[in-house]
């Protein structure tokens, strides 16, 4: 089994920013609501816009993907993705409409409401805020038996990143949908463990050795 962080491929595909006063509303929804809380009862479509092409951080127009980045960690489904996997993804969260200014096609932000307490804190490496809350998970270690029926989920210790198992990744790739990338975070397969171990910033974070022997 492999566990991946689901990210938008914002280096290669278009991303959007919240427009005007909707920027503050977007911040409220993404930072100050409880993890897993349903937002649909109070949701009104927010307005997003494409960044200015001449902006320093967006020097060229990028192609449109089937998934569209909304800031750093969140993304929306464009029509092709909505048709192909909207029903599947709605089992694990909400698909909330947003407006892309100047574009008629609807977009739907995927807000994951599935929380699985699958992280083994004794083997994971984390950084914490002064109040003890987890700010970042540098190395994730999971209880695989808790993920047998999982596809998309957050962990309660840190809801800033979206996790998935092989099933979702393979489904997206088989359909040829664009705009997402998958970063391997945990594996019980020798090749996967070697890859993760080779990428760990142990000197920076003073991580202990990998908790299992790697062939």
- Per-residue confidence (pLDDT) for residue 215, from 0 to 100: 43
Determine the longest span between alpha carbons in the chain, in angstroms. 54
SS3 sequence, the chain? CEEEEEEECCCCCCEEEECCCHHHHHHHHHHCCCCCCCCHHHCCCCEEECCCCCCCCCCCCCCCCCEEEECCCEEEECHHHHHHHHHHHCCCEEEEEEEECCCCCCEEEEEECCECCCECCCCCEEEECCCCCEEEEEECCECHHHHCCCCEEEECCEEEEEEEEHHHHHHHHHHCCCCEEEEEEEECCHHHHHHHHHHCCHHHHCCCCCCCCCC
Weakest-pLDDT range from 87-91, 112-116, 189-193: 189-193
Task: Tell me how far CA of residue 69 lies from CA of 59, 64, 91, 95, 187, in angstroms.
Answer: 17, 10, 21, 14, 26
Query: pTM of the predicted model, to two decimals?
Result: 0.82
Q: How would residue 27 be classed by pLDDT, with cut points 50, 70 and 90?
A: low
Q: Phi first, then psi: give them for residue 149, nearest 5 degrees.
A: -115, 15
Block residue for tokens 């307490």? 117
Q: Which residue has the higher pLDDT, 22 or 186?
A: 186
| CA–CA gap between residue 171 and residue 155 (Å, rounded) | 22
Selection from 92, 193, 93 nearest residue 140 by Cα: 193
Which tens digits make up the pLDDT trace of 115-125?
A: 999 988 888 88
């Amino acid at each position: 089994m492999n566990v991946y962080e689901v990210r938008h491929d914002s280096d290669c595909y278009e991303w959007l920013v919240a427009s005007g006063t909707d920027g503050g509303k977007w911040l409220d929804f993404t930072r100050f609501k409880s993890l897993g809380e349903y937002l649909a009862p109070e949701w009104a479509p927010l307005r997003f816009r494409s960044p200015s092409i001449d902006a320093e951080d967006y020097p060229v127009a990028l192609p449109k993907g089937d998934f569209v980045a909304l800031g750093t960690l969140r993304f929306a489904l464009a029509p092709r993705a909505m048709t192909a996997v909207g029903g599947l993804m709605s089992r694990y969260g909400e698909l909330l409409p947003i407006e892309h200014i100047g574009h008629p096609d609807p977009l739907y932000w995927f807000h994951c409401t599935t929380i699985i307490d699958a992280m083994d804190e004794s083997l994971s490496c984390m950084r914490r805020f002064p109040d003890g809350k987890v700010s970042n998970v540098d190395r994730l270690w999971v209880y695989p038996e808790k993920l047998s029926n999982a596809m998309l989920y957050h962990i309660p210790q840190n809801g800033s990143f979206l996790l998935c198992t092989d099933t979702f990744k393979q489904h997206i790739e088989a359909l040829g949908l664009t705009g997402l990338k998958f970063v391997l975070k945990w594996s019980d397969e020798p090749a996967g463990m070697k890859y993760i171990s080779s990428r760990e910033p142990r000197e920076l974070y003073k991580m202990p050795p990998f908790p299992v022997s790697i062939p």
